[in-house]
Amino acid sequence: MKHRKNLQGLTALLMLALFISGCNKEDVPPDDFKQLSFDSEEVMDLLPDGLKNSNDENAQACVSYVESALDMAGFIDNMEVPDDATRSLSKSSNGADTWQWSWNYGGESFTFYWSYEERSGKRYWAMDISYNNGPRYNYIDAWETEDGNQGEVIYNWGWAAIYGGEDVDDAEFLYWKYAWNKDSSGAYHLNFYMDGYDDEYDYLVQYDVVVNADGSGSVDYYMEDEVFYHMEWDVLGNGLWVYYSEGVEFLSGSWLAG
């Protein structure tokens, strides 16, 4: 569990670093260095109160899965470029402008490299991180369309192994991918995908979420590419759930709006 402990400790320290570095900022340099426009609250506001207020454990799990598929916003809020960032003398590998800043705490040093560009009707972001002046490792890659209706954010936690003095193996990296698409009907199609590992085996977890413009929707939870849990709800928040084992239904039920 060494990787996990390193990841948990470093994640807390990293988020603190990003929070503090963003507390003393004014305008994002340069002015056209835009932020991701996706707003998770727009999706949560569509959910019926009857679903969010239900005391049923399956209804609560349903809301939790939707929130998990939107969890990228918590990271992006702390990824703004602080006003003491400096423009890198060299551009990123794809030619985009890059800004960098450092944060020091308790003898630890982190340097962040954040690039942004616009091309072919999309916005692109990338962040690398170096620890104690060591090599740069990729942390975030993100893109969205200019109207913000479609995009993707990928977090790569594998670089965190360097915090424990370990060699970084791409095969052991932990990836979180968030994707969204708002279609012409106003429905949001959300996807959360986690490719991870522990000391015994690799695993894949995926949520596919649909939140319609009228507030109804569904969640499908997958493990190792097999559906494990399905939930759906109506405009009032009444819902049903189904558990699967090896692709075969073995438990099901329903809940009433709260």
- Which tens digit of pLDDT belongs to each residue from 194-233? 876 555 545 678 889 999 999 999 999 998 778 899 999 9
| pLDDT recorded at residue 213 | 97
DSSP letter (8 states) at residue 10: H
Find residue 144's DSSP bridge partners: 123, 151
First to last CA, the chain: 40
Residue 47 has pLDDT above 70, yes or no: yes
Look at the chain and report how many structural domains it folds into.
1
Question: What's the domain range around 167?
Answer: 2-255
Q: Mean pLDDT across the stretch 23-34? A: 48
Burial of residue 31 (number of CB atoms within 10 Å: 0-12, 13-18, 19+): exposed
Query: Identity (one letter) of the amino acid at 234?
Result: D
Separation between Cα atoms, residue 93 and residue 16, nearest integer Å: 28
Q: Mean pLDDT across the stretch 104-130? A: 82
pTM of the model: 0.79
Phi-psi region at 107: left, alpha or beta (left = phi > 0; alpha = psi -120 to 50): left
pLDDT tens digit sequence for 130-185: 777 777 778 888 999 999 999 999 888 766 655 555 555 554 566 788 999 999 99
Residue predicted with more confidence, 50 or 109 = 50
Burial of residue 65 (number of CB atoms within 10 Å: 0-12, 13-18, 19+): buried
Q: Which two tokens stand for residue 178?
A: 């968030």
- CA 200 to mean position of chain CA atoms: 25
